[in-house]
Amino acid sequence: MHRSEEIVINTGPIIAITAALGSLDTLQMYRRVWVPWAVCQEILAGGPSGFAVAEFRAAHWLQTESTPLEIAPILVNSLDQGEAAVIQLALDKNIQTVCIDEAAEAALVHVMAAHRPRARVCGQFGGGKDVLPTDVLHPRPLPVGIRILAFHGEG
């Protein structure tokens, strides 16, 4: 089973994984877990007592970006700020795997079709049920509504 060495994660999955598992440690199966600046800001907006803030801060192994990204207009116009930053960071660093909310998937597929027409978006539905062909599988069931998606192919 192939596992991506790097993943970029959005706010919703950070909160859902923390709620379901009590920590973000399950993400350590990846060599690097990237968190864009916009996602960091969304998590930390809850203040020190906000949900998932302590767990997020405790995960010192996360690769958190310290500055905002320049985001392509198609992403800004199609996705919310955190989702757009996740996809832009993945594109900038050539990272093929992202973790997003299920609700963002349709917009992501549309954006990827426009940006990388030959790319194939694959994923795993929370709870372990494959809904698209994938070789990126998570060894533990994910919280419902969380998607691990991979981009295969060139743009």
46-69: pLDDT as tens digits = 899 999 999 999 999 999 999 999
pLDDT range class, residue 98, cuts 50, 70, 90? confident
Asked, for residue 66, whether it belongs to a domain, the answer is: yes
Its domain, for residue 80, covers: 6-152
Comparing 40-44, 72-76, 88-92, 151-155, the range with the smallest average pLDDT is: 151-155
* Residue 94 placed within a domain: yes
143 in any annotated domain: yes
The SS3 call for residue 40 is helix
pTM of the predicted model over 0.85: no
What is the overall mean pLDDT for the chain?
Answer: 76
For residue 10, tell me if it sits in a domain: yes
**Arithmetic mean of pLDDT, 6-27:** 89
Identify whether 1 is part of a domain. Answer: no
Say which amino acid occupies 90.
Answer: A
Render pLDDT for 101-138 as a digit per residue (tens, 0 to 9).
766 666 666 666 666 655 555 554 344 433 333 333 34
Residue 103 placed within a domain: yes
Number of domains forming the structure of the chain: 1
CATH number reported for the structural domain that contains residue 35 in this entry: 3.40.50
Query: pLDDT grade, residue 5 (50/70/90)?
Result: confident
SS3 annotation, 116-131: CCCCEEEEEECCCCEC
Would you state the pLDDT for residue 110?
Answer: 64
- CA dist., res. 25 & res. 89, Å (int): 22
Residue 86 lies in a domain: yes
Q: Is 84 within a domain?
A: yes
CA atoms within 13 A on the CB side of 101: 15
User: What residue spans of the chain are helical by DSSP H?
Assistant: 11-21, 37-44, 53-58, 73-78, 81-92, 105-115
